Amino acid sequence: MGADKADICAASGHGRTVCVTGAGGFIASWLVKLLLEKGYTVRGTVRNPDDDAKNAHLRALDGATERLTLVRADLLDKESLTAALRGCEGVFHTASPVTDDPEKMIEPAVNGTKNVINAAADVSTVRRVVFTSSIGTVYMDPRHAPGAEVDETCWSDLDYCKNTKNWYCYAKTVAEQAAWELAKQRQLDLVVVNPSLVLGPLLQPSVNASTLHILKYLDGSVKTYTDAVQAYVHVQDVADAHARVYEEPGAWGRYLCAGRTLHRGEVCRMLAKMFPEYPVPTECKGGAAETKKGCLFSSRRLAVLGVGVTPAILCLYDTVTSLQDKGLTTEERTFVVHASQYIPYGRLP
């Protein structure tokens, strides 16, 4: 079912209700903030609406008192999702587990996504679903030459993901493929955003998996960096991308949302120059040379919709200054407390 221009209009969110799954997360929090600013009424799914500590940052958003409702929902409980989506015209499915344990990641990612698609299809008011996927569904393929550009037509190789034990990319790829297949069967309008590693200021009070990627270079917990590369993107650009592909009637398919690809060494040199007070590593692990070259990602499709890409150095700067504002870089003990309570995610790829 294609999006109806009368139902999805970029002008204003006033009088319109949408649902954001996993509303307390890093990307989702910024998306909720943006949607409220646009005038939408937002229904956010969380594990526990009564947990004031974890939900305070959402309730403090401008417009939240009047137009934000937090509801309990479980990705593996389709009925709870159906109840959450009832009366909504749009759904942003951002919730997804991140862990090294394939059993704890694959089922919630895949079956949870199927439940969201089925629930949205069962609710007659839903006109479009925007799914937060990942560039992990795009570039994990040994056939990609170093420095080659990949685009939305590329898919990660599932056997390669399994052989390299990259369960995050495996789960996200299977989940996205399942979403496309099921959306076609249920005749549901689906659009997907594929962001790279997301940085920027935190709205939530705790460290998340992607900001941990930067925090470990600041708190002394690692002494070297690995010979590896990563593409970065600003969280506000990702939130903007979700809103734009939802509001644009002609949006379709997948949209890469990625900035510049950097070697870990380059990241550390940027951090050290901007924040010399931290013990940022200066050597590659094992004395290795910086040889790795990653894929290049283009956000051309999003650019057509007016979505910009913040330079990587500003992504890093905004991340660190946010961690400082929240007191998360002052001592290792503070970091450990937050990590153990809020991010049982394991290492990043």
DSSP 135: G
β-bridge pairing 17-21 and 90-93 = parallel
- Cβ pair 291, 336 in contact under 8 A: no
Residue in the block written with tokens 């646009």: 38
Neighbours of 324 (CB within 10 A): 14
User: Could you tell me whether strands 229-234 and 296-297 are parallel, antiparallel, or unpaired per DSSP bridges?
Assistant: unpaired
Q: Is 38 labeled as catalytic in the residue annotation? A: no
Query: What ranges make up the beta strands (E) of 171-215?
Result: 190-195, 197-199
Residue length of the chain: 349
Which position among 33, 38, 78, 172 bears the catalytic label? 172
Contact by Cβ (8 Å): 73, 81: yes
Spatial CA neighbour of 199 closest among 272, 147, 260: 260
Q: How far separated are the first and last CA of the chain, in Å rounded? A: 36
- Strand 229-234: give its sheet, edge to edge: 197-199, 229-234, 261-263
Residue 255: beta bridge partners? 193
**Which DSSP state fits 63?**
T
- Both tokens of 129, joined, read 């679903």
Q: What residues are labeled active site?
A: 172
